Amino acid sequence: MDVVEKATEIANKYNDLELIDKKIIINQPEIWKFQFGDRQLNLVEPMIDNFEKFNSNTGWKQDRTAWGQVMQALAHFSFHCSGGQFTPCDLQGGVYSDGVVLTDPVVMSRNQRFGPTDLGGEGIDSFFSRHVCNEYCREWWTRPARRQATFADRKGTTMIRVQTQTGRSPFSRQYY
């Protein structure tokens, strides 16, 4: 849920710039509890139509369409406005006449605080090693000094190994 909150904050700041005449909205999931033996929590999101994938957390991108270019600019903008601390990616969702609804985003952070899909500084550097500024970017937006592709360019989501909190059921304490 922290990822969704941060991605929403970033999208709202981008929307406030009014660089485009449409809105970027982050799908807001809910946590549902199911009882099957041990209590299980599940993340449930509303259904999205017109689904497209715009980029991944390794720097793969679909920038042949206007929305694909906007998503690359959103990631670049967030790096700039956060002082180099955050980059949302793995952006995907539904395209509608008045905007796009993104679902299940990844936020990469310098301190890797957003779980196994947060590839940290190396992920941010990999993303920017493949980023090409477009008409939705601004030339004064900062970029990382180091832009080296540490991760292979792939469309799917890449995860790194992180250990979950101790004190949980042994079955939930796994590595990704």
CB 20 within 8 Å of CB 2? no
In percent, the amount of the chain with pLDDT more than 70 equals 89
Q: Read off the pLDDT of residues 96-115 as tens digits, 9 standing for 90 and up.
A: 999 999 999 999 999 999 99
What CATH superfamily classification does 2-130 receive? MHCK/EF2 kinase (3.20.200.10)
Q: Read off the pLDDT of residues 36-79 as tens digits, 9 standing for 90 and up.
A: 667 687 778 888 899 999 999 999 999 999 999 999 999 999 99
Spell out the SS3 assignment of 146-157: CCCCCCCCCCCC
pLDDT at 80 over 60: yes
Confidence of residue 17 (pLDDT cuts 50, 70, 90): very high
Query: What is the model's pTM?
Result: 0.84
Question: Two tokens at 131?
Answer: 């980023």
Report how far residue 139's alpha carbon sits from residue 39's, in angstroms, rounded to the nearest whole number.
Answer: 50
Tell me the one-letter amino acid at 159. M
Instruction: Parse the chain into domains and list their residue ranges.
Output: 2-130
Question: Two tokens at 136?
Answer: 């939705």
